[in-house]
Chains A and B, each alone.
Chain A
Amino acid sequence: MNGKQNTSVRGLAREGLWDNNPIFRQILGICSTLAVTNMVLNTAVMCAALILTLSLSSLTISLLRALTPRNIRMMVETLVIAFYVIIFDVSLKAWWPDMSENLGPYVGLIITNCIVMGRAEACANNQSPGVALLDGFFNAVGYSFVLLAIAVPRELLGMGTILGAAVPYFSGPYWDKWIIMVMPPGAFFMLAVAVWVFRSWQGDHES
């Protein structure tokens, strides 16, 4: 990790959303969400789950950091993360059962999402609660916008809809639906394209 972190809101936002974007820069944590990117709505709900989990668990871990013995740090972190994920899972089951069905086991898999543990280790463990919260939030948002950028073309090209609503032309008879887009390989290809575009762009700016 870069030794010194800029802890202003601006700095944290820049880090999480762009300079150190968890997906483009580190290709981390895609497992739990890539699977549901064939529909924008499912992706949005997963991203909301991640934003809540990552922000709140970073905050909690930071609050507990002075009390937590170092040797059991990882266990406590896992417990805190699992706690928030279960809250989300239980709420979804109670108030949005259809969505809970759609997402299947993927909500639970946020626990092993490398980003959450990564931010806990890299930031929440040694920063004040406010910084940890913002760091978690911006990283999760940075992650979310990339996944949504993958989900929108997948649903549009593959099913001719956005958020389930038919889009003119793409849902019409002249558009031959790209079935591969809603199948798993489509997710890999879209992510590759996104990474390609981003890295080329970022590379150009740096040099």
Chain B
Amino acid sequence: MNPEAGILQPLVVMFSAAFTGNILLAKFLGMCPFLAVSRQVKTALGLGWAVVFVLTGTSVLNWLIYWKVLVPLNLEFLRFIMFIIMIAAFVQFVEMVLERYSPVLYQKLGIFLPLITVNCAILGGSLFMVIRRYTLLNAVAFGFGSGIGWMLAILAMAGIREKLAEERIPRGLRGPGITLIIVGLMALAFIGFTGVLGG
């Protein structure tokens, strides 16, 4: 009866999360760090990977918390608090592990991790996954795809902004103004992916 079952579905979920339903360009989530940290490709890449990692990890954790703990206990309305706590705890945990076992990676991502707790894309990812009633596998795919989509967007943005630094721009548009216009154009381009996925 369920036409959506099948091995392809997680892939479709992942691609649509990365492109047509891009968490930043279509859902507007994670704007603050996006505007603040998109000046250089290098830092954008670091933050991008950190987001991919945390978004995937917290999607799994929050899926388990929601469907295995909150729903059986009839406490769904506490999801906001639980999700935030899980995200903060996960970020803290990753920071500790990285610091101990991979100093190189810690140097690269460490400074971005605290920023991520308050990145709405992370909480938003968990909330969307719950509303859409994804299976665990789809939730993983969704978290990963959303992270990748966010990273692609911030990378493209940083690339463009590096070029833009030398351009002459009307005073009022400098900084956030022109960035928003570019984001708008990127959003247009990403909507163009819609047809690719067909069903």
Contact = CB atoms under 8 A, between A and B. Distances in A.
Physical contact A–B (CB less than 8 Å):
yes
Interface of A: 27-32, 34-35, 75, 78-79, 82-83, 85-86, 89-90, 104-105, 108-109, 111-114, 117, 180, 183-189, 191-192, 195-201, 203
Minimum-distance CB pairs A-B, first 3: A188-B184, A200-B172, A105-B127
Given A108-B123, A109-B124, A112-B119, A188 B181 contact: yes
Contacts of A189: 180-181, 184
Given A187-B28, A196-B170, A197-B172, 5 more contacts: A28-B32, A105-B128, A189-B181, A189-B184, A200-B172
A162 B103 CA distance: 56
A17 to B, nearest CB: 19
20 contacts: A27-B35, A30-B31, A35-B27, A35-B28, A82-B80, A83-B81, A109-B29, A109-B120, A111-B84, A111-B123, A183-B191, A185-B184, A186-B184, A187-B184, A191-B180, A192-B176, A192-B181, A199-B172, A200-B172, A203-B171
B123 A109 contact: yes
Contacts of A75: 88
Contacts of A30: 28, 31-32
Interface string B153-191: 000000000000000001111001110110111011001
Contacts of A108: 79-80, 123, 127
Contacts of A199: 171-173, 177
A110 to B, nearest CB: 9
Interface of B: 25-32, 35, 77-81, 84, 88, 118-124, 127-128, 131, 170-173, 176-178, 180-181, 183-185, 187-188, 191
A201 to B, nearest CB: 8
